[in-house]
A and B are shown apart, each in its own frame.
Chain A
Amino acid sequence: MNTTETKSSFQDKLDQDLCIEPKDTMPDEYRKHLIRQISQHAHSEVIGMQPEGNWITRAPSLRAKQILLAKIQDEGGHGLYLYSTAETLGISREEMIEQLHTGKAKYSNIFNYPALTWADIGAIGWLVDGAAIVNQVSLQKTSYGPYARAMVRICKEESFHQRQGYEIMTNMMKGTKEQQEMAQDAMNRWWWPSLMMFGPHDSDSPHSGNAFVWKIKRKSNDELRQRFIDKTVQQAETIGLTIPDSDLKWNETKNCYDHGEINWEEFRRVVNGNGPCNKQRMTHHIKVHNEGAWVREAAAAYAKANAK
């Protein structure tokens, strides 16, 4: 099939708001964009297990430990849904892991921050998963069928993650003065990085142009960030937490909140490898991956022996 034909059948489907499926013809750039985005999404789910895993042995009750384990298990599962989605585009699992380890593929910047106290587990579930949900809900309408279906499944499962985080924050705000301060401290440290999760401002977003034309992205970074702020402020106020932004105020005319400047210098510094945990996250992933090599070898050897 020649390039013009590829373009027109692809464009026809997009124009009619139909899904693109693995066997459909698609421009190379569309395929590349999706591989980059979906593998980054998958890596984020998997790396995101680390800051939370840090608290499994120190969860304050058996109930809290069961919930945290279930949540982390979900993140691992979500990573696997997304890796298999990316595989439908012709990239192998080995290549994706290689790209993560060499730094060619990124993961969400938020996981380069540490979970210092138990309140951080609350803030991660409520704010980080809350921000991820806003983004993922909009991706349920993305143009690539397997990605859209993975998002539907993930959103359904993720609804408990945010609630368990909010529950932790709610309970701490009902606790001692020290517990309340701990919750507010976690809020102060996670609020701005959560806003950065939506990426640069629309006026400064390098990957957005084609992503809109191809209907991969359905809402802009700023639109999604605004939606997250507008729903989260009320939740913070309800339990007595303060949003650490002195410029935050309700804008009657626009019918949404105005917020202060995001520190993009910090964002760039962390994205470029100089956040508090970048090295730790990657060292851990590489170590665990290499330590698991014997399991994959043993499984392959067993299958080979049994095939004879």
Chain B
Amino acid sequence: MDTQLDLWEVFIQKKDGSEHAHAGSVHASDSKMALQNARDIYTRRNEGTSIWVVPSNYITASNPEDAQMLFDPSTEKVYRHPTFYVVPAGAKQI
């Protein structure tokens, strides 16, 4: 029986100290193969210092149709940004 194996999502840490960011996906039969394939496919040009692989079916994503409901309310909350506040003339380093 032919198989394309399971889908895994790949996260790469680009340089020391940075967070792991999503790079793409690979097909593999287990985590060891997934790491190996991710290394071969996504870091051929010195692009990474660390790799995470996660089975794709373990990722729960938000629904695009819900984007408005999820994210729009925060645009109204301008007071969460420091630029909302007027600093009195002369006050420094705040």
List the interface of chain A (C-beta within 8 A of B). Answer: 18-19, 21, 23, 63, 66-67, 70, 74, 130, 145, 148-149, 157, 159-160, 162-164, 166-167, 170, 231, 234-235, 238-239
Contacts and interface: CB of A to CB of B under 8 A. Distances in A.
Given A18-B17, A70-B77, A160 B93 contact: no
B58 interface: no
Main DSSP-derived SS at the B contact region: loop
A166 B77 CA distance: 19
Contacts of B86: 167
- Which of B84, B87, B88, B93 has most A Cβ within 10 Å? B88
- Tier of interface size on chain B: 20 to 34
A160 B16 contact: no
Given A18-B17, A21-B50, A66-B79, A163 B93 contact: no
Contact of B88 (A21, A23, A239): A239
Q: Which 8 pairs between the two chains have the least Cβ-Cβ distance?
A: A163-B85, A19-B17, A231-B93, A159-B82, A238-B91, A160-B82, A238-B90, A67-B79
Given A21-B50, A148-B17, A167-B86, A70 B80 contact: yes
Nearest to A23: B50
Contact of A160 (B17, B85, B88, B91): B85
Contacts of A66: 77, 79
Nearest to B16: A18
Given A19-B16, A164-B79, A231 B85 contact: no
Looking at A63, A70, A163, the one whose CB has the most chain B CB atoms below 10 A away is A163
13 contacts: A19-B17, A66-B79, A70-B79, A159-B82, A160-B79, A160-B80, A160-B85, A163-B82, A164-B85, A166-B85, A167-B86, A231-B93, A239-B88
B81 interface: yes
Nearest to A239: B88
